[in-house]
Amino acid sequence: MRRLVAALLAVAFVALAWAPHVHAGARAENECAACIVRTAEPAPDQPLVLGPAPAERAPAAVAPVQPLAAGAPLGAVPGQSPPAHA
């Protein structure tokens, strides 16, 4: 049943597109689907590239690595002098 309805709709579309008809409105703003397809540009041969543009890779600026503190802070151990303030 669905195939019959689809075939009838396809035949009706072709018959209506083939029959002479006039579009109402200024500059034929209300064109039918058949006229739009008839005047459309052909599809491009090359496939479309649908993705982000490649990003420019800049060299990463790396800050010098500071040594990790190990042990107790200065002044925490008896007999050790606290750090000098400038």
DSSP 5-63: HHHHHHHHHHHHHHS-----SGGGTT--HHHHHHTSPPPPSSPP--SPPPPP-PPPP-P
Q: Does 29 fall in a domain? A: yes
- Contact by Cβ (8 Å): 10, 34: no
- 82 occurs within a structural domain: no
Any domain includes 78:
no
- pLDDT at residue 20, rounded to an integer: 77
CB atoms under 10 Å from CB of 40, counted, come to: 8
Does the predicted TM-score (pTM) go above 0.85? no
Confidence grade of residue 81 (pLDDT, cut at 50, 70, 90): low
- For the cut 90, the answer to whether the pLDDT of residue 5 exceeds it is yes
Q: Residue 29 is part of which domain span?
A: 2-38
**Residue 15 within a domain:** yes
pLDDT in tens, 6-34: 999 999 988 877 777 777 666 656 677 77
Domain count, the chain: 1
